Chain A
Amino acid sequence: MVLGLIIFMLGIQIYNSLIIKKNQVSKSFSSVDVLLKKRWDLIPNLVAVVKNHLEFEQQTLAEITRLRSRAMGNDISPEQRLNVENQITRTVGNIMALIENYPELKSERHVTQLLESLNETEEQISAARRFYNSAVTDYNNAIEMFPSNLVAGYMQYQPKELFVTPAEERANVDVGRLLN
Chain B
Amino acid sequence: MVDKSDQSLSPQEIDRLFIQGDRNLHQGNFTAAVDIFEKLSVAVISSHQQYFNIQRNLAKAYSQNNQTEQAIALCQTMVASDSNLISLWGTNFMATLAPQIHQEIIQKQDNQEVVKPTIKSLTIKQKNLAEFKQYCQDNLLGSLRELEKNRIQTLSTIVVSGIICLFITWVICQIILNFVKGEDNIVFYLTFLSLILPIWIIFCRGCIHVYGLNFKRNIIEKIVNFIGEDGKLSYANKLFLEDKRQTILGFTNSQLFRDELQEPDSLEQEDCVYGTIGNTDIFFAEIFVKNVRGGHLNELEMKDSFGESMLFHGLFFQAKFSKNFVSRTFVLPNDLKNKILLKNNWQGEIVSLEDPEFQKIFQVYGDNQIESRYVLSTSLMSRLVEFNQKAKRKVYLSFIDGFVYIAIPYRYRLFQPKLLKNMTSFAPLREYFLDLQLMIGIVNDLNLNRRIWG
Contact = CB atoms under 8 A, between A and B. Distances in A.
Interface of A: 28, 31, 96, 100, 103, 106-109, 112, 115-116, 119-120, 123-124, 126-128, 130-131, 133-134
Contacts of A103: 117
Q: Tell me which of A96, A116, A120, A131 has the highest count of chain B C-beta atoms within 10 A of its own C-beta.
A: A131
Interface in B5-28: none
5 contacts: A107-B115, A107-B116, A107-B117, A120-B323, A124-B374
Contact of A120 (B114, B115, B324, B369): B324
Contacts of B164: none
A130 B354 contact: yes
A112 B453 CA distance: 10
- State the 5 A-B residue pairs at the shortest beta-carbon distance, nearest first: A127-B373, A127-B374, A109-B114, A130-B373, A128-B370
A112 B452 contact: yes
Interface in B99-132: 113-118
B251 to A, nearest CB: 28
Nearest to B373: A127
B352 interface: yes
Interface in B178-196: none
A106 B118 contact: yes
B114 A123 contact: no
Q: Tell me which of A103, A127, A128 has the highest count of chain B C-beta atoms within 10 A of its own C-beta.
A: A127
A103 B118 CA distance: 9
Contacts of B377: 123, 126-127
A77 B113 CA distance: 45
A115 B452 contact: yes
A130 B116 CA distance: 35
Contacts of A131: 369-370, 373
A28 B352 CA distance: 14
A131 B352 CA distance: 9
Contacts of B268: none
Nearest to B114: A109
Contacts of B114: 107-109
Contacts of A133: 354
Nearest to A133: B354
B357 to A, nearest CB: 16
Contacts of A96: 453
Interface majority SS (helix, strand, loop, mixed), chain A = helix
A123 B115 CA distance: 26
Interface string B370-390: 110110010000000000000
Interface majority SS (helix, strand, loop, mixed), chain B = loop
Contacts of A109: 113-114
Given A100-B453, A107-B114, A131-B369, A123 B354 contact: no
Given A115-B453, A127-B374, 6 more contacts: A96-B453, A107-B115, A107-B116, A109-B114, A120-B323, A127-B371
A119 B354 contact: no
Interface in B329-376: 352-354, 369-371, 373-374
A123 B117 contact: no
A94 to B, nearest CB: 13
A106 B352 CA distance: 38
A116 B452 contact: yes
Contacts of A134: 352-354
A100 B118 CA distance: 9
B183 to A, nearest CB: 83
A31 B370 contact: yes
Given A106-B117, A133-B354, A134-B352, A119 B373 contact: no
A142 B324 CA distance: 35
B222 to A, nearest CB: 39
A110 B324 CA distance: 18
Contacts of A31: 370
Contacts of A126: 374, 377
Contacts of B373: 127-128, 130-131
A120 B114 CA distance: 20
A133 B370 CA distance: 12
A123 B118 contact: no
A128 B377 CA distance: 11
A96 B113 CA distance: 20
Nearest to A103: B117
Nearest to B454: A119
Nearest to B369: A131
Interface in B409-434: none
Q: Tell me which of B113, B354, B370 has the highest count of chain A C-beta atoms within 10 A of its own C-beta.
A: B370
A21 to B, nearest CB: 13
A88 B373 CA distance: 22
A99 to B, nearest CB: 9
Q: Tell me which of B116, B118, B324, B352 has the highest count of chain A C-beta atoms within 10 A of its own C-beta.
A: B118
B327 to A, nearest CB: 12
A123 B453 contact: no
Contact of B453 (A108, A119, A128, A130): A119
A119 B118 CA distance: 14
Nearest to A35: B370
Nearest to A107: B115
A120 B323 CA distance: 8
Nearest to A119: B452
Nearest to B111: A109
